[in-house]
Amino acid sequence: MNKESSQHIPQRELDAILRFGTLVNSSLHIEDVLEHAIKWAQEFMDAEASSVYELDRPKNELFIRLARGEKKDSVRGIRIKVGEGIAGWVAQTSRAVVSQDVSKDKRFSPKYDEKTGFKTRSVMCVPLISKDEPIGVLQVINKKGGKPFTNSDFKLLTGMAQQVAIAMENAKLYQRLKEDYALTTRELKMTQEKLIRSERLTAMGHLVQGVAHEIRNPIMTIGGFVDRLKKELGPGDKLREYADVIMEETNRLEKLVEQVSEFMNVQSASLSSDLLTPVAQKVINKFAPLAKKQGVQIVTWVDENIPPLEMDAPQLTIALSHVMENALESMPDGGTLSLEIHPSNHDVLITISDTGFGIRADQLDAVYDPFVTSKPRGAGLGLTMVHRIVMNHRGEIKISSQLDKGTIVVIRLPMPNHQHEGSLHPGE
């Protein structure tokens, strides 16, 4: 190329580059940009065909991103090894090629013409470079009328290649941004749902506390009087049966009120450094006799090297007890209850699984709600409390279950040194 012509880009070409630049900057739709790029390239250079290849770095191959021309459909899906053919050479060396007669160019590979039935005579091929790395190739083929490509054709193509490279890079960035955004939105929604659940539970809690308080005294009174009534009635009196029923129901109410006040007590926790393993051991010991009676085998797998956690030991005892109790209640005819405690990244995972009757999928979401129970004598407050206690520890609880197979409860508690990890290492 001579020096003179390199300094004078004709007005027409300059216009094209400027207009193209505006398009690149205004469109995030890569297909639009590429479509225009090769359309203009082909028109201005009076070429028969044109294509944009993108580099597939892991495979070290080029693939056709977009093509124009008579055989554009048959080139779709074509992949070229980097280093193979003129386009491959350009991608490998990051250098442009103008080949006015490919039959004299050793880099040219006739393979693709053979595949498509197209006859390539001349090629102008420039690399698409972004951040000093090749990301693809822009190519125009066969100047019409058998004429050679001119120096200004080459300049125009090089100018366009710069813009196309930017557009491709922007499109990739945009895509990544879109994916990140979708992720953030999803996380936000989950956090929001958790928040709504906690709020709802707190609101319910206040209501429940009021009711429990009002109920406690009358229950005590009824219980006391029934007891006296029973003593007045002789051992064979038919009315004793009724008294027994009243007594039983009163006991049930008393138990409910007890659970409600327990529920109120776990609304907030006082955390201090403590060991989790003894807590778990205590709960296992408590339930061992009942398990034995039901024919349930308890299997434990506890990592002894878990460091002390910031925790409220009495509350965690309550939480684990309720989960264990549910597990045992789901296996009236025996089964296996397993408890696993082990560290995972920055957390401790407590996994309690049973081989019981399971929870129906459509009921899984409601199990944390107060008074949701499938048991005739259940209060439906166990998991409500468990959830609250886990939240008090800034942990997470997840229950998965399969009908007639069993239930798995996973409680995740953060390890103390990692509770603020995020703010210490913002780059992670």
Ligand X SMILES: Nc1ncnc2c1ncn2[C@@H]1O[C@H](COP(=O)(O)OP(=O)(O)O)[C@@H](O)[C@H]1O
- Give yes or no for a contact between 337 and 291, defined as CB atoms under 8 angstroms apart: yes
**159 near ligand X, judged by CB under 6 A:** no
Task: Go through the chain and tell me how many residues it has.
Answer: 428
Task: Name the DSSP class of 373.
Answer: -
Give the DSSP letter string of 132-175: TEEEEEEEEEEEGGGPPPPHHHHHHHHHHHHHHHHHHHHHHHHH
Residue nearest to Mg ion (CB): 382
Within 127-156, the residues that bind ligand X by CB under 6 A are none
| Rounded distance between C-alpha atoms, residue 80 and residue 142, angstroms | 20
Burial letters 374-413, b for 16+ CB under 10 A, else e: eeeeebbbbbbbbbbbbbbbebebebebeeeebbbbbbbb
**372 near ligand X, judged by CB under 6 A:** yes
Within 381-400, the residues that bind ligand X by CB under 6 A are 381-384
Taking the complex as a whole, the smallest distance from the CB of residue 210 to ligand X amounts, in Å, to 21
Taking CA atoms, 201 is separated from 62, 115, 232, in Å, by 57, 68, 45
Within 336-365, the residues that bind ligand X by CB under 6 A are 354, 356-359
Taking the complex as a whole, the smallest distance from the CB of residue 249 to ligand X amounts, in Å, to 17
Residue number with CB closer to Mg ion (141 or 323) = 323
Taking the complex as a whole, the smallest distance from the CB of residue 224 to ligand X amounts, in Å, to 26
**373 near ligand X, judged by CB under 6 A:** yes
Task: Name the DSSP class of 84.
Answer: S
| Rounded distance between C-alpha atoms, residue 293 and residue 146, angstroms | 95
x/- site string to Mg ion, residues 375 to 394, per CB under 5 A?
-------x------------
**378 near ligand X, judged by CB under 6 A:** yes
**125 near ligand X, judged by CB under 6 A:** no
| Rounded distance between C-alpha atoms, residue 156 and residue 196, angstroms | 59
Q: How many residues bind Mg ion (CB under 5 A)?
A: 2
Taking the complex as a whole, the smallest distance from the CB of residue 373 to ligand X amounts, in Å, to 3
Nearest to 411 by CA among 348, 360, 335, 317: 348
Residue number with CB closer to ligand X (194 or 255) = 255
> How far from chain centre, in Å, is Cα 193?
15
Q: How many residues bind ligand X (CB under 6 A)?
A: 22
x/- site string to ligand X, residues 304 to 343, per CB under 6 A?
------------------x---xx--x-------------
* CB-based contacts of 42, cutoff 8 Å, min separation 6: 48, 49, 50, 68, 69, 140
x/- site string to Mg ion, residues 310 to 329, per CB under 5 A?
----------------x---
Tell me which of 66, 407, 411, 414 binds ligand X, using CB under 6 A. Answer: 407
Q: Of all helices (H) and strands (E), which one includes residue 424?
A: helix 421-424
Taking the complex as a whole, the smallest distance from the CB of residue 384 to ligand X amounts, in Å, to 6
x/- site string to Mg ion, residues 269 to 308, per CB under 5 A?
----------------------------------------
Tell me which of 380, 400, 410, 416 binds ligand X, using CB under 6 A. Answer: 380
**253 near ligand X, judged by CB under 6 A:** no
Taking the complex as a whole, the smallest distance from the CB of residue 271 to Mg ion amounts, in Å, to 24
x/- site string to Mg ion, residues 324 to 363, per CB under 5 A?
--x-------------------------------------
* CB-based contacts of 185, cutoff 8 Å, min separation 6: none
Taking the complex as a whole, the smallest distance from the CB of residue 30 to ligand X amounts, in Å, to 51
Taking the complex as a whole, the smallest distance from the CB of residue 331 to ligand X amounts, in Å, to 8
Residue number with CB closer to ligand X (205 or 356) = 356
Give first-to-last CA distance, the chain, whole Å.
51
Nearest to 81 by CA among 47, 57, 116, 98: 57
Taking CA atoms, 87 is separated from 17, 47, 111, in Å, by 23, 17, 13
| Rounded distance between C-alpha atoms, residue 301 and residue 298, angstroms | 10
**161 near ligand X, judged by CB under 6 A:** no
| Binding residues for ligand X (CB under 6 A) | 322, 326-327, 330, 354, 356-359, 367, 372-375, 378-384, 407
